[in-house]
Every structure is written in C-alpha cells, then in structure tokens.
Amino acid sequence: MASLQLTVLGSGTSMGVPTLACHCAVCESTDPHDQRTRPSVLLSYCGRNVVIDTTPDFRSQALRARIDRLDAVIFTHGHADHVMGLDDVRPYNLKQKSVVPVYAASETLAILRRRFAYIFENTQPGSTPPLIEPRTIDGPFDLFSTRIVPVPAMHGPQPVLGFRFGNCAYLTDFSSVPETSRALLRGLDDFILDALRYVPHPMHSTVAQSLALVDELRPKRAWFTHICHDLGHKQTNAKLPQNVRLAYDGLQFEVAI
Ligand SMILES: [Zn+2]
Ligand SMILES: [Zn+2]
Ligand SMILES: [Zn+2]
C-alpha cells in the first residue's frame, strides 16, 4: 500500500514556545519536546515534499527537517503564524528552476495578495521575489496523485481549512467543526488537531474540547498541536488518554494513502 511520511515541523502556538520574555516552567524547560516552533506539517511522498503552511519559522524548520526540495504549499488560513515564512520558498525556486504552486481558499489567497504584494506585483525589479503559482481550493483536489480533501471549520468568526489525506487529517486553528466536516473525519488512523491550552479561547479548541471531538470521531491516534506554554509535554501527556498525545516538533509517522 502506498504511504506518505508526515513530519510535524512545528507544534507551537502563534508566539512559539518558549515565548519571548516568558520565564514560566514550560518556557524554561530543558525537555526538547517543550520547544515548539509555529504550526506546520510536511508531507513527503512519491519523491515530493508538500508543506501545510509556511510559518515564521519555516526556514529553520526546513533546515532541521532537511527539506531539499519543495513541490507545493497548502495554506490553512491567512494568519501571520501560518504564512509569514512564504518568502523562504526562494531557494527552492532557484534550485529547482520552477515556480512553487500554492493552494489556498480564495479568501486566504486574497490575504496573501495583501501581505505579500511584492510577490504578486513584482514591485522590486532586480530583486529575487518568490515565484509562486496561486491555485484556489474549492473542493477536494489531487496533488501528485494523492487526494487532498479540504475540511472546512471555523476559527472564531473566520473560516479555516483542515485537510485529510489518506487515513490522516490535519486540523489546526479551529473553534468549531460543522457536522458536514465531522463526516470527513471518521475512520482516521491519525488526527492532528488544535488544542491550545486548558483555558477557553474564542478562536481555538481547548484540551477538553479536543478530547470531546476525539471521543466522538474515534481516530486510532490523536495528536494535539498549536500548543501554548500552559501545557508542559510530560505533565500533559501523563493526564491524556493513551491514544492522545501532544505532538512535538520532529514527530514523524507513516500515513496510508
Ligand atoms: Zn495559528
Ligand atoms: Zn512561558
Ligand atoms: Zn489562526
């Protein structure tokens, strides 16, 4: 059976962990699992590399994961912690002598056009802007012979996309998941989902809310991501059910596709 290798490039919330200027126990922890860069995953299959989101840490994540080629970027939404590393696709343009296709919902592409006007308008002649080709996500699509199914959710008042590929789904930055999307999240082997902290947040799922969703959808394994400094890796895992773990930077597993 075909498979894909998934790597968690970043498992932290928008500010990362350690958080600048914070000296709490988790930010000061010496456990490498408590060092979380901004949220992203890498999908490697058929000799291709696809990243979901390009975070402000994309460059260091790509160095750490030794990403030697980049074939596509898929965006969940337009928030800064998910897009600000887009400029760092440039070395791949140069090495591969090709544009990098960028898949996103139309509202996310509109945000990218505003945030990265210099990419779209070529306002700096003589410089080396990223070469990207925007592609609008308006339903399931095939990417290098693998089906990618968008899973719409709400992130506070704004829409966000999760993605299912084979028996795995990645759903970051959500506060609620509509019934139609829950139907797309059944029968999973691995489910990577937002669980910011214990304390309620208007735009993110909490540990309790994500545990309830896992209980309903019954994936074989669930991995929490977009984690803030309230959750120590070891202490939190000790309280979670056996099939639910905190994700961490560098976590890797195979996904049947
Ligand atoms: Zn985020
Ligand atoms: Zn802290
Ligand atoms: Zn967000």
Q: Write the pLDDT tens digit of every residue in 9-65.
A: 999 999 999 999 999 999 999 999 999 999 999 999 999 999 999 999 999 999 999
Residue type, 151: V
Q: How confident is the model at residue 122 (pLDDT cuts 50, 70, 90)?
A: confident
CA of 203 to the centre of ligand 3 (A): 8
Measured in Å, residue 79 CA sits from the centre of ligand 1 at: 6
Instruction: Give residue 160 CA to ligand 2 midpoint distance, Å.
Output: 27
Ligand positioned closest to the Cα atom of 14: 1
State the ligand closest to the CA atom of 12: 1
Span from the CA of 16 to the centroid of ligand 2 (angstroms): 9
Ligand nearest the Cα atom of residue 156: 3
CA of residue 77 to ligand 3 center, whole Å: 7
Q: What is the mean pLDDT of residues 217-243?
A: 98
Token duo for residue 131: 């070469």
Cis bond upstream, residue 125 (ω within 30): no
Confidence category of residue 127, pLDDT binned at 50, 70, 90: confident
**How close is the Cα of 55 to the center of ligand 3, in Å?**
11
Q: pTM, whole model, 2 decimals?
A: 0.98
CA of 73 to the centre of ligand 1 (A): 16
Nearest ligand, measured from the Cα of 56? 1
Distance from C-alpha of 56 to C-alpha of 86, rounded to nearest angstrom: 8
